[in-house]
Chains A and B, each alone.
Chain A
Amino acid sequence: MTISALYNASNVVVGQAAVYFGVNNLAMPALTLWNAADPFDPAFFATPVGWTKSGATDQGWQLAVDKSTQTVNIEEQSTPVATTITSQNVTVSGSLSEDVTQTLTLALNATSAPTAAAPTTPGYDLITLTDTPVYYAMMMVTVNDKGFGRLIYAPSWSQLSNPNVSFRRAADKRMYAVGFQTVCPTNLIKIYNFTAAKTA
């Protein structure tokens, strides 16, 4: 037996992800609408109303799970008898590259109040920052090893990143760092890893 028989190179996957966000506790779209042939099919994200594309990014999205643990020791044994998880942060982060009102409200923990243009005043979106965290439902979509797609969903996330935006003439684009962090029970964080298309 050669070592190549011990692994499957086709399981090594590269590829991008897309992030959709909506109002806090917005339900995930029904799986009956999932298009196995195209995980990014916008039809899936149209219902319920309110799922919004986050748009272009600088270097894609990063999924991270950061755990703090506590080992349980006893006098009679040198090695721990157990390990507990004291805290866990599940985050999805990236840098948004579309410099629009939607990006500003998301990245700056803000709300928006548009005013239509009138003969006496121009049209504008008034973006107001708030000290109260705005919570979001969020899901990240990507393609898995079988090409069927993978969906990561949780109903409640905060987005309290610290964007540091450069305004350059030509050297670089404006980028707004965002980092979603779950603020819901761990068992509400769901990952759907699709394995087959719907049967006929």
Chain B
Amino acid sequence: MTKAKETPDEKPDETPVEMAVVEGEQPTLPDLEEVDRKGRGKTRLLAIREPFWVTSFTIETPEGDTLVVDREGVEIDSDFADTLIATAEAEHGVTIAEVSKP
């Protein structure tokens, strides 16, 4: 069986995130903006806004992982964020919105 050829656009970017390691110091993780700039790991910080009696919203990601959004804010993969927001509103009347980082 011939395997379908992947187009360059479909291939995930596997370029490692650069981390500066200085002798004698602990390595630090790159901040979110740095990751975003490299075009990988884009996330949006989403939180439940309305109604106020909803404490959390649970949804299954396409990968089969359980994702729980609370009122404080959870970083969600950008590609899935819009689906999550639409599903919460349409099926449960829950408003989920993007919030800024504290």
Contacts and interface: CB of A to CB of B under 8 A. Distances in A.
Interface of A: 22-23, 49-50, 52, 101-102, 105-106, 110-121, 123, 125, 134
Contact of B59 (A110, A115, A119): A115
B53 A105 contact: yes
Contacts of B60: 116, 118-121
Interface of B: 49-60, 87-88, 91-94
Given A116-B60, A118-B60, A123 B54 contact: no
Q: Binding site of B, secondary structure by majority: helix, strand, loop or mixed? A: mixed
Contact of B52 (A23, A101, A113, A125): A23
Given A114-B91, A123-B92, 4 more contacts: A102-B53, A105-B53, A113-B56, A116-B87
Contact of B51 (A52, A113, A117): A52
Given A49-B49, A50-B50, A112 B55 contact: yes
B58 A115 contact: yes
A129 to B, nearest CB: 12
B67 to A, nearest CB: 9
Nearest to B91: A123
B65 to A, nearest CB: 11
Contact of A116 (B50, B51, B54, B91): B91
Given A116-B88, A117-B91, A123-B91, A111 B51 contact: no
A177 B79 CA distance: 44
Nearest to B49: A49
B53 A111 contact: yes
Contacts of B58: 113-116
A80 to B, nearest CB: 46
Nearest to A52: B51
A101 B93 CA distance: 10
Contact of A114 (B49, B50, B52, B57): B57
